[in-house]
Amino acid sequence: MTAKRGEKDGGCVMPAVEARLKDLLDETRLAMLGTQLLMGLQYNAAFAQRFGSLPHALRRLDGIALLLILTTAAFLLATPAYHQIAAGGHATSRMMMRASDKLKVALLPLSLALGIDVAIGFLSTVPSWAAALAGAAFVIGALCLWYVLPLQGASSRCHEDDMHDKEQSLEVRIEQALTELRVVLPGAQALFGFQFAAVLTESFMRLPTALKGMHLASLSVVAAAVVMLIAPAAYHRIAAAGNAEESVLRYAVRLMLPAQGLLALGLVGDAYITMRMIFETPIVAISVAIIALMTFATLLYAVPLVARARHR
Q: Could you say which DSSP state residue 8 is in?
A: -
- List, in sequence order, every residue forming a beta bridge with 13; answer none if it has no partner: 7
Q: Smallest Cα–Cα separation from 181: which of 136, 235, 107, 117? A: 235
Cβ-based neighbour number of residue 274 at 10 Å:
24
Write down the pLDDT at residue 196: 87
With respect to residue 3, please indicate whether it lies within any of the assigned structural domains. Answer: no
With respect to residue 5, please indicate whether it lies within any of the assigned structural domains. Answer: no
217: containing domain: 12-311
Q: Smallest Cα–Cα separation from 273: which of 44, 84, 77? A: 44
**Count of domains forming the chain:** 1
Q: 294 falls in which pLDDT band (50, 70, 90)? A: very high
Write down the pLDDT at residue 21: 83
Write down the pLDDT at residue 161: 52
Contact 8, 158 (CB under 8 A): yes
Q: Is the pLDDT of residue 164 over 70?
A: no
With respect to residue 6, please indicate whether it lies within any of the assigned structural domains. Answer: no
Higher local confidence (pLDDT), 12 or 34: 34
Residues 54-99: tens digit of each pLDDT: 788 888 888 899 999 999 999 999 999 999 998 888 888 888 888 8
Contacts of 79-82 with C-beta under 8 Å, sequence gap 24+, read 79/24, 79/25, 79/28, 79/103, 79/180, 79/183, 80/25, 80/180, 80/181, 80/183, 80/184, 80/256, 80/260, 81/257, 81/260, 81/299, 81/300, 81/301, 81/304, 82/303, 82/304, 82/307
Q: 7 falls in which pLDDT band (50, 70, 90)? A: very low
Higher local confidence (pLDDT), 162 or 107: 107
Contact 79, 257 (CB under 8 A): no
Write down the pLDDT at residue 146: 93
Which residues touch 203 (CB under 8 Å, ≥6 apart)?
46, 47, 48, 49, 51, 52, 277
**CA pair distance 24, 230, nearest whole angstrom:** 22
Out of 106-115, 116-125, 168-177, the most confident range is 106-115
Q: 191 falls in which pLDDT band (50, 70, 90)? A: confident
DSSP string for 257-312: HHHHHHHHHHHHHHHHHHHHHH-SSHHHHHHHHHHHHHHHHIIIIIHHHHHHHHH-
- Average predicted confidence (pLDDT) for the chain: 86
With respect to residue 1, please indicate whether it lies within any of the assigned structural domains. Answer: no
Residues 42-60: tens digit of each pLDDT: 888 888 777 777 788 888 8
What average pLDDT does the segment 124-147 reach? 92
Q: Is the pLDDT of residue 287 over 90?
A: yes
Write down the pLDDT at residue 1: 42
Contact 300, 261 (CB under 8 A): yes
Environment class of residue 11 by beta-carbon count within 10 Å: exposed (0-12), middle (13-18) or buried (19+)? exposed
Higher local confidence (pLDDT), 36 or 282: 282
Write down the pLDDT at residue 3: 44
Write down the pLDDT at residue 11: 52
Q: 120 falls in which pLDDT band (50, 70, 90)? A: confident
Which residues touch 163 (CB under 8 Å, ≥6 apart)?
17, 20, 91, 93, 96
With respect to residue 293, please indicate whether it lies within any of the assigned structural domains. Answer: yes
**CA pair distance 265, 295, nearest whole angstrom:** 11
Residues 198-237: tens digit of each pLDDT: 888 888 888 889 999 999 999 999 999 999 999 999 999 9
Write down the pLDDT at residue 13: 61
Higher local confidence (pLDDT), 21 or 109: 109
In whole angstroms, what separates CA 48 from the centre of its chain? 24
Residues 223-276: tens digit of each pLDDT: 999 999 999 999 999 998 888 889 999 999 999 999 999 999 999 998 999 898
pTM of the model: 0.87
